Structures are given as structure tokens and as C-alpha cells.
Amino acid sequence: MPIRLLALSLGLLLAACQQEGPQIDIESSIPVRVVAVGRQPIEAYITATTTVQALKEAQLRGMQGGRYQLQDNPRSGRPYAMGDQVLAGEIVVRLVNAEFENSVSIDSKKLHYTVSQREFEKQRALLAKGGITQRELTDAERMLIDARYAYQNATLQLEKLVVEAPFDGILVDLVHHNPDQFLEAGAVFGRLMDYAQLYAELSLPGGELSRVAPGLEVLVSRYGSAEMVADTLSGRIDQVAPVLDQESRMFKATLAVANDSLLLRPGMFVRVDIVADRRDSALVIPRGAVLDRGEERVVFVVEKGIAFERKLDTGLGNRQQLQVLSGLEEGESLVVEGFETLRDRAQVKVEK
């Protein structure tokens, strides 16, 4: 009997200690942030790097010798300078060469052309009245044609004394010459580019040949820049070589990209993502939420304050996203922050 009383007393004493002592969590909750798993479009890319070039480029060069005169930009009122916009047909440089102009004698040829026109019209009127023969009219017409060609050739010769912009563009280089300095034919004055449209050549692995075709969309961004939509331009694959290089086993493709904002400049090193595949509606998660464990890809989902480990089968992927084929369901709470130290069935606290 005393032994039973002693055991009962010890039991009551232990129970009282448990009730009065502090409550200690066996496992403290780990703070995490979650997002709902949902469906959205996803694209898969073939990635390469290259250097972009201006679609149009021209060297401004003199076709005739003469004294150098740099012209004023009509928009600024000052002499043309590097970085200036130039419109097609605007004269950037004029060359003065009085001796050459005299030898062309354009005024004389223009007058002869005008006289020949009048003579031809006169002879044609006389033929209608029976005053001359058809042969005489033909001779007048031949003289008119010769005079026209002579005048046109003289005009072309004098055009060699002006250097015009062949297209709308930007002066990316302007060679310094002293005013009125005599320059020989062939002197270089500068370089004009239109880089509102860019092109680039790509060298791609032979294994991708079946996935690359003209017309595919490409995303072009400055290499090393932050991945922001505002820093990315859209373009298209223009041409694709049908064969591989025998030494490198690579194939060549070219692309064109609109650059209306002039975000990219010729000579820039860029990253190119070719959109090789696309799903309009897929179960998509952030790539950064996935843990790679050897050949397995693992994520965590939260249910009632407990984190559960899920192994995934994945499909298309890019730098930001990954398609889930199995392992997750739409609407589940995926852990996107704080998962690095989690283990299966860990207690978590979801933070907003």
C-alpha cells in the first residue's frame, strides 16, 4: 500500500511540473514566401552571342579633287559633326574646283540642249505641213538626243564635286580636313550609318539546325545587362545556311532586328534568344524556386503550415521559367523564398 501511494504521488508531481513549466517548440517555424502555381505561356530558347551591325552603312568619299568645304547642318545651323542626323540627298561636303567646272562647260551644253529641243519641235511642225522630209526630222531628233546626253553627262560630272548622303542616317565618323584644303579624288570624308535596323550573324551548333528556320522570333539584349523587358528588342531570323562548317560543325544564320529607339548601337556585343518552341498554356513555375539534386529537380509546397517536398518532371524552360509536366497541381502554394534550408515536412510560417 505505501508503494502504491508513493507511485501515485510521483505521478501527480510530474504532471504538475509539466503543467506549470514553459511550452517549448520541438521545431521552430521557418519563414517562407509562396506563390500559387498557375498556367501561362512559356517559350524555350536557343541562346547565342554575337555582334550587331548597321543594316545600312556607307563611306563618304570624294569622286573628284577639289578644295574642301564642310557644309552646315540645316537643322542646327552649324557645320556637320559626328552624331548628326543626315537626310538622304543632303550635301555634307562640297568640293570647289573651278578648272574642272570650266572643262565640263555645263552652261554651253545646257544651251545646246535647249536649242536642239526648239529645233526638233520646229522641224516636227514643218513635217506636218509637208515642208521637210522625214529624214530631216530624224536628223533633228538625233541632234536632240546627243545634246541631251551631253548635258546629262556634264551634270553627272559636276555631281562629283558634292558628297551627298545616300540614305537617312547618322554621321558616325567625320574625318578632319582643313577648310579649303585641296584634296585628291578618292579622299575619305566620313562614314554614315542607319542603325534603326540592325543585322547580325550567328554561329549555331549543328544539332540545332532542325530547330532554326527563317521567320523565327528572336529576343536581343545587351550582353551582361539586367534582364529587363525594356532592354530587350524583338527581331526575326532572316536566313539559315543549309549546311555545316566542316571544321567547327556549326551553321550560320542571320537575323534582323528593329532598333527604332536606338537602344543598341553597331558593334555592341549582344545575347540572342531564338524562340525555338512555345506553349500557350502550361503549368509554369519560377526557375529560381527549383533545387537541382543530381538528376532530380525538387520544390516545396506548403499545406497547413507544413512544407512538403515534391519531385518534378519538367518540359520547356528558359532563364526565368520552367514548365512542370508532373509533380505539382494548379493552385498549390509553391515556396519561392526560404526553401534553401527546408526539409520534407518542416514546419513553416508563410510571410506576405
**SS3 of 118-167:** HHHHHHHHHHHCCCCCHHHHHHHHHHHHHHHHHHHHHHHHHHCCEEECCC
Residue 337 has pLDDT above 70, yes or no: yes
Enumerate residues 6+ apart whose C-beta is below 8 A from 213.
Answer: 237, 240
Share of the chain above pLDDT 70, in %: 91
pLDDT 10s digits, 258-311: 999 999 999 999 999 999 999 999 999 999 999 998 889 999 999 999 999 999
Residue 23 has pLDDT above 60, yes or no: no
Predicted confidence at residue 293, as pLDDT, reads 87
* CA dihedral of 277, 279, 283, 285, whole degrees rounded to 10: 40
pLDDT class of 99 with cuts at 50, 70, 90: very high
Predicted confidence at residue 351, as pLDDT, reads 87
Predicted confidence at residue 230, as pLDDT, reads 58
- The sign of the dihedral angle between the CA atoms of 325, 331, 332, 337 is positive
Residue 19 has pLDDT above 60, yes or no: no
Query: CA-CA distance, 37 to 35, in Å (whole number)?
Result: 6
- φ, ψ for residue 326 (rounded to 5)? -160, 155
Query: CA-CA distance, 103 to 342, in Å (whole number)?
Result: 90
Query: CA-CA distance, 150 to 90, in Å (whole number)?
Result: 26
For the ranges 12-16, 93-97, 198-202, 259-263, which has the lowest average pLDDT?
12-16
pLDDT class of 7 with cuts at 50, 70, 90: very low
pLDDT class of 226 with cuts at 50, 70, 90: low
pLDDT class of 14 with cuts at 50, 70, 90: very low
Q: What is the pTM of this model?
A: 0.70
Query: CA-CA distance, 81 to 195, in Å (whole number)?
Result: 18
Predicted confidence at residue 188, as pLDDT, reads 97
Cβ proximity of 302 and 348 under 8 Å: yes
pLDDT class of 227 with cuts at 50, 70, 90: low
Closest C-alpha among 290, 334, 307 to residue 30: 307
Give the mean pLDDT of the chain.
89
Element (H, E) at 173: strand 169-174
pLDDT 10s digits, 25-61: 445 789 999 999 999 999 899 999 999 999 999 999 9
Q: Which of 151 and 224 is assigned the larger pLDDT?
A: 151
| Distance, C-alpha 140 to centroid of its chain | 59
Residue 3 has pLDDT above 60, yes or no: no
Average pLDDT over residues 86-109: 96
Q: Tell me the domains of the chain and their CATH numbers.
A: 30-42+280-350 (2.40.420.20), 46-54+194-278 (2.40.30.170), 98-160 (1.10.287)
pLDDT class of 217 with cuts at 50, 70, 90: very high
Residue 83 has pLDDT above 70, yes or no: yes
